[in-house]
């Protein structure tokens, strides 16, 4: 049985070497030379989109163009209603302040326009998770907030309030609100919208709101496997059967490479093992075969890494890690056992079909009890 475990473990580790194009091209458009060109854009994190995009006119095409902020005057995703334009932004760096051209998400378009720019992890250390850009005519102003840390205390430099007070000084009705303004998209957009409506020469303002829906894959799943202890040889035949329902949750605004899986499963164990007994007399050792059945409810909490996430890809491999909470039930409720298992698994989606192979361990050691399961599931709804 230990040989089987080693083979499965090798399969799990080798699956991490999958070479797949982790690109998800979503229907969108670019604006170039005042022309709007429809096509498909790689949908990734906004911090990466701010540096440049990958674009192709046909979803089936293998090759794509890499376009920086200076090469196109805008792009967007039609389904999620996200629109980006190149802006000038000033950020703190280890060498002082640096100005660059980046793609930023459009929040408001009017006499004064507002953008939001998500920053990389390295940029966050000296700035914030995101920043805002204020545009009037062809001039751009960065609305910044910084963390302040000294030997005596730590705090926050809300520099954006002073910048807004200076830029919107011709609208005194906003001064009190700006002085207490939180550093949130809805709050800053609210002030800019009021300025455009009440204090600008053109009250027309277009508000761009978007809400990216989470991607939820769900459906029934069945599994078959075995349960064993690598250090013991007295187990003759242990079978495990399971039926349940899985839910795979993914937030594409964060990343399509990451998802979380849970669900609920009913499990039935058929155990057969040998038990040696001794009644105290010479040569009175007896070997008895014991058979029993156990019932359990299982709730997985798993972190999933997805590969080959491109649009219309038939085969999408994944790796999973996490915990499986398992409750064994007996006729006597007081004997109910709650056991956590550490999980590692791999598998793939083929259209609506999900196949996975996993190893659960009662502990981190090789000699810990192991549960090996092969699962087959069916995704309800659209597989794309």
* 166 and 235 share one domain: no
pLDDT of res. 340: 86
pLDDT of res. 5: 45
Final residue of a structural domain among 181, 207, 233: 207
CA-CA distance, 37 to 31, in Å (whole number)? Answer: 6
* 352 and 250 share one domain: yes
221 strand-pairing partners: 244, 377
pLDDT of res. 231: 60
Cβ atoms of 341 and 351 within 8 Å: the answer is no
pLDDT of res. 253: 61
Per the structure, the complete domain to which residue 50 belongs is given by: 25-207
pLDDT of res. 15: 43
Nearest to 380 by CA among 245, 281, 226: 245
* 160 and 229 share one domain: no
If you search the block for the tokens 């389904």, which residue do you land on? 79
CA-CA distance, 167 to 165, in Å (whole number)? Answer: 6
39 strand-pairing partners: 28
Please give the backbone phi and psi of residue 188, each rounded to the nearest 5 degrees, phi first.
-70, -40
Q: What angle do CA 122, 127, 130 make, to 5 degrees?
A: 90
pLDDT of res. 272: 73
CA-CA distance, 360 to 302, in Å (whole number)? Answer: 12
pLDDT of res. 357: 94
Separation of first and last alpha carbons in the chain: 39
**Residue 199 counted as domain residue:** yes
CA-CA distance, 250 to 321, in Å (whole number)? Answer: 15
319 strand-pairing partners: 305, 346
pLDDT of res. 21: 44
Per-residue pLDDT of the chain (384 residues; tens, 9 = 90+): 445 444 444 544 444 344 334 467 889 999 998 899 999 999 888 889 999 999 999 888 889 999 999 899 999 998 888 999 999 999 998 888 999 999 999 999 999 999 999 898 788 888 888 899 999 999 999 999 987 777 777 778 899 999 999 999 999 999 999 999 999 899 999 999 999 999 998 999 999 877 666 778 899 999 999 887 766 655 557 889 999 999 998 876 667 788 999 999 999 988 776 666 666 665 566 666 777 788 899 999 999 998 876 655 678 899 999 999 888 877 666 667 788 889 999 999 998 899 999 999 887 766 778 889 999 999 886 555
pLDDT of res. 45: 83
131 strand-pairing partners: 117
Q: Is the pTM of this model over 0.85?
A: no
Residue 235 buriedness (CB in 10 A; 0-12 / 13-18 / 19+): middle
CATH number of the domain within which 368 lies: 2.40.160.20
**Residue 240 counted as domain residue:** yes
* 173 and 315 share one domain: no
* 180 and 242 share one domain: no
* 235 and 193 share one domain: no
């Amino acid at each position: 049985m230990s040989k089987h475990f080693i083979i499965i473990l090798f399969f799990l580790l080798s699956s991490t070497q999958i070479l797949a194009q982790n690109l998800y091209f979503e229907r969108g458009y670019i604006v170039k030379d005042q022309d709007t060109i429809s096509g498909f854009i790689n949908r990734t994190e906004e911090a990466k989109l701010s540096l440049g995009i990958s674009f192709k006119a046909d979803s089936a095409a293998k090759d794509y163009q890499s376009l920086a902020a200076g090469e196109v005057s805008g792009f967007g995703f039609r389904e999620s209603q996200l629109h980006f334009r190149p802006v000038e932004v000033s950020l703190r760096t280890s060498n002082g302040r640096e100005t660059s051209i980046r793609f930023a998400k459009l929040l408001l378009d009017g006499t004064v326009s507002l953008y939001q720019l998500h920053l990389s992890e390295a940029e966050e250390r000296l700035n914030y998770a995101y920043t805002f850009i204020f545009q009037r005519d062809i001039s751009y102003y960065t609305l910044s907030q910084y963390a302040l840390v000294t030997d005596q205390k730590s705090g926050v430099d809300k520099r954006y309030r002073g910048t807004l007070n200076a830029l919107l000084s011709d609208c005194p009705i906003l001064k009190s609100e700006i002085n207490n303004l939180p550093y949130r998209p809805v709050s800053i957009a609210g002030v800019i919208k009021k300025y455009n409506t009440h204090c600008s020469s053109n009250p027309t303002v277009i508000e761009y709101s978007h809400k990216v829906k989470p991607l939820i894959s769900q459906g029934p799943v069945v599994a078959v496997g075995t349960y064993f202890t690598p250090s013991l040889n007295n187990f003759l035949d242990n079978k495990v059967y399971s039926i349940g329902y899985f839910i795979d949750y993914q937030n594409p605004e964060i990343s399509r490479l990451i998802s979380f899986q849970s669900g609920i499963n009913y499990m039935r164990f058929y155990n057969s093992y040998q038990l040696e007994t001794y009644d105290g007399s010479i040569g009175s050792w007896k070997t008895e075969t014991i058979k029993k059945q156990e019932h359990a409810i299982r709730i997985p909490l798993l972190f999933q890494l997805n590969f080959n996430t491109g649009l219309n890809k038939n085969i999408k491999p994944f790796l999973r890690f996490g915990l499986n909470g398992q409750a064994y039930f007996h006729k006597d409720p007081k004997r109910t056992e709650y056991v956590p298992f550490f999980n590692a698994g791999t598998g793939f989606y083929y259209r609506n079909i999900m196949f996975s192979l996993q190893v659960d361990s009662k502990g981190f050691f090789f000699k810990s009890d192991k549960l090996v399961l092969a699962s087959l599931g069916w995704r309800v709804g659209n597989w794309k």
